[in-house]
Amino acid sequence: MSNNFSSPNVVALAGGVGGAKLAVGLQKVLPPGMLTVIVNTGDDFEHWGLTICPDLDTVMYNLAGVNNPETGWGLQGETFNALEAMGRLGGEDWFRLGDRDLAVHLRRSEWLRQDIPLTQVTDRLRRSLGVSTTILPMSDVPIRTLVHTDEGDLPFQHYFVRRRCEPMVIDVSFVGASNAQPTEEVLQALDAADLIVFCPSNPYLSIDPILSVPGVRRMIRKSHVRRVAVTPIIGGRALKGPAAKMMREMGQMMSPITVADHFDGLLDGFVLDQADAVLHNAFDMPVLVADTVMTDLASKARLAQELLDFVYTLDAPAARSESTSDIALPTFSATSS
């Protein structure tokens, strides 16, 4: 990154709403085209005969500035006539697909049926919405997050939306990951990066699926650029989603330290929320204490700029060792299958 401080090539790893917010901030402060977001597709599922990619769409709608500001996912000013009609027909109506959102799922599914890879489909969709940032699915082949709970194994959206994250989580696995290959686009983006950012997304459900794609974890571990994570845990809570609840259920400390430990060997710096400033000496890497709660465009851009300024202060990474195994996962590991 030393030669490219004025316009670094940034690669962000993101899941849904929290990740999308930081991506919006980075897009705002970076020159157009200097951001690539690699997005979790473990949440994807087949529904109403369509392929739904919730995190890709959340990131895309946020970057396009057309997202529902209350939920963070879906479109603003959305209507749900199709959903209501589906309910009247006895169809599944627990997953709230909006009328205009439906057009994206129909178009994506149509293109996928024509054997156009998800990477290309995603690129077409984001260009249609005028998004200058490159959005890359973590993989072109289906990798599906399966949540192992005290009530049995649940496909991700059944755990997250249908069961509102109520079952106790025992473990998480990523079905299809071990046979998957990273896309050329993901490999090239990581190779060309000046900085890798772990967005404030759920480590177990949003970032681990990306790291489960064979080769990706190793590439990040060996990367010669700085790698920084922004905490998804603030004051012992996750602003959104079950990250903190999962930590408790897995016998972990509900703390940003748990997040840093989880990404052991993958990080050179950590962004801690000001609410947890007291912990700043407890990390074995440089820490930035910042207001990580992103409520509007200004706070997203401010955090993104503070993160870039912080990265500038970090020492250039020493050559990374080859010794650690690519498949060694940290504690409370999610497993690939």
Residues whose CB is less than 8 angstroms from the CB of residue 220 and which lie 6 or more positions away in sequence, other chains included: 190, 196, 211, 227, 266
Least Å distance, CB 293 to ligand FO1, is 18
Least Å distance, CB 83 to ligand FO1, is 9
DSSP state of 303: H
Calculate ∠ Cα 308-133-186, nearest 5°: 90
DSSP letter string, 63-100: HHT-B-TTTSSSBTT---HHHHHHHHTT---SS---HH
Least Å distance, CB 156 to ligand FO1, is 7
Which residue in the shown chain puts its C-beta closest to ligand FO1? Answer: 16
Q: Select 139 or 223, whichever has its Cβ closest to ligand FO1.
A: 139
Q: Select 85 or 328, whichever has its Cβ closest to ligand FO1.
A: 85
What angle separates helix 54-64 from helix 118-128, to the nearest 10 degrees? Answer: 30
Q: How many CA atoms lie within 13 A of 158 on its CB side?
A: 15
- With CA atoms as reference, report the closest residue to 232 among 264, 257, 196, 265: 257
Q: Select 50 or 260, whichever has its Cβ closest to ligand FO1.
A: 50
Q: Which residues contribute to the site for ligand FO1 (CB under 6 A)?
A: 15-16, 43, 54-55, 57-58, 73-74, 95-97, 101, 157, 160-161
Tokens of 85: 């009609």
Q: Select 246 or 279, whichever has its Cβ closest to ligand FO1.
A: 246
Least Å distance, CB 92 to ligand FO1, is 11
Q: Select 240 or 302, whichever has its Cβ closest to ligand FO1.
A: 240
Tokens of 320: 């990374």
Q: Select 160 or 310, whichever has its Cβ closest to ligand FO1.
A: 160
Least Å distance, CB 91 to ligand FO1, is 14
Least Å distance, CB 44 to ligand FO1, is 9
Cα torsion angle, 54, 130, 27, 100, sign: negative
Phi then psi for residue 50, to 5 deg, are -120, 155
